[in-house]
Amino acid sequence: MISLGIIGAGIMGERMLRAALDQAPDVVRVAAIWDPSPTALARIGSAAPHAASAEALIASADCIYIASPPASHLPHAQAALAAGKAAFCEKPLAVDVPAAQAFLAANPTARAAVNFPMASSLGVATMRDWLPSIGTPLRLEIETSFRIWPRPWQADASAWLDRPQQGGFTREVVSHFLFLTRRLCGPMVLEQAHAGFHSEGASERAIAARITAGTIPVTLLGGVGTTLKDDHNTWTLWGTEGAIRLRDWSVAERLTGSEWVPDPAAMPNERMRPLVLRRQLEGVARMTQGEPHHLATIQEALDVQTIVEGILAA
């Protein structure tokens, strides 16, 4: 059992709070939550004690979960580590690549990790088991599509989530699939990229990129207004003996003839999320206690961030 302090009472902060209370009360105890917005804290209500400041929150817990907007991630993580606490940071690690590189250089063995839930995904575990069945990997295709951006359930965060300085679907969504690529296929190199910004002051509305992951060529496409669903995505790996894909976050599928056949145990993301969050929090407890864990490392998160910011700068 570890104590967890939560910085940020937005969507992700509340989601992790509920997971700690409902899915993992035997793994973590929520020490407190803090947000500079009284309105955000009011929405949380009495589900967790409210800390008076970020400093008070850090002092109250063993590990600090940082779920504030991206530009504040590194300062909060640095403050947590300086106080001798562990840090579990929401993705992206940062929006400033040199600052993230300096953070890693200064904290190479710190108790710190980044919240990429695919590290705990049951669908991803199935994909890993299936990898040998496709023979030698030949190419990887990643596609992400959105009806609108931000997605409807994120509308309250539009003030930063739809701004190029911190927001956009490449940082918020594509980064997950780049983490999956990094973990299953190897180190990534951005070969070519384009990002389309259609409105002054708004985040990107389309991206295209070519990446190499290990020895595998990767094509990446993303766009807003390209699907009738709020959110649709596929991560498809083709090999000499077949193909596998992860669809809509959680459904592992294999190509059988000309048909994509889902794993019999596959479930939609809404059903899988509680299980994934439980496994993430188990990893947070191990990380906080200085034990080996499966969470995304700071190096992996920096590798992902480097590709993301390279795409957005194109």
Would the pLDDT of 58 be above 90? yes
pTM of the model: 0.96
Same domain, 308 and 160: yes
Q: How many CB atoms lie within 10 A of CB 193?
A: 18
| Shared domain check, 204 and 98 | no
Residues 96 and 137 in one domain: no
* Peptide bond preceding 164 in cis form (omega within 30 of 0): no
Is residue 170 located within the same domain as residue 105? no
Q: What is the pLDDT of residue 6?
A: 98
Examine the pLDDT at 98 and tell me if it is beyond 90. Answer: yes
Q: Do 160 and 85 share a structural domain?
A: no
**19 & 147 share domain:** no
- Given a cut of 90, whether residue 207 has pLDDT beyond it is yes
**Per-residue model confidence as pLDDT tens digits over 12-45:** 999 999 999 999 999 999 999 999 999 999 999 9
Q: What is the CATH number of the domain that holds 10?
A: 3.40.50.720
* Average pLDDT score, the chain: 97
Give yes or no: residues 242 and 177 share one domain: yes
131 and 191 fall within a common domain = yes
- Distances 47 to 9, 90, 216 between C-alpha atoms, Å: 11, 21, 46
**Three-class DSSP category at 9:** coil
Q: Has residue 156 got a pLDDT over 90?
A: no
Q: What share of the chain has pLDDT > 70, as a percent?
A: 100
Q: Total domain count for the chain? A: 2
Same domain (yes/no): 101, 208: no
> Over the stretch 101-139, which tens digit does the pLDDT of each residue have?
999 999 999 999 999 999 999 999 999 999 999 999 999
> Do residues 13 and 84 both lie within one domain?
yes
Look at 123-127, 152-156, 178-182, 288-292 and tell me which has the smallest mean pLDDT. Answer: 152-156
Clarify whether residues 216 and 243 are in a common domain: yes
Together in a domain, 308 and 287: no
Query: Which CATH number characterizes residue 178's domain?
Result: 3.30.360.10
Concatenating the DSSP letter of every residue in 252-284 gives EEEEETTEEEE-TT---HHHHHHHHHHHHHHHH
Structural domain for 26, as ranges? 2-116+274-297
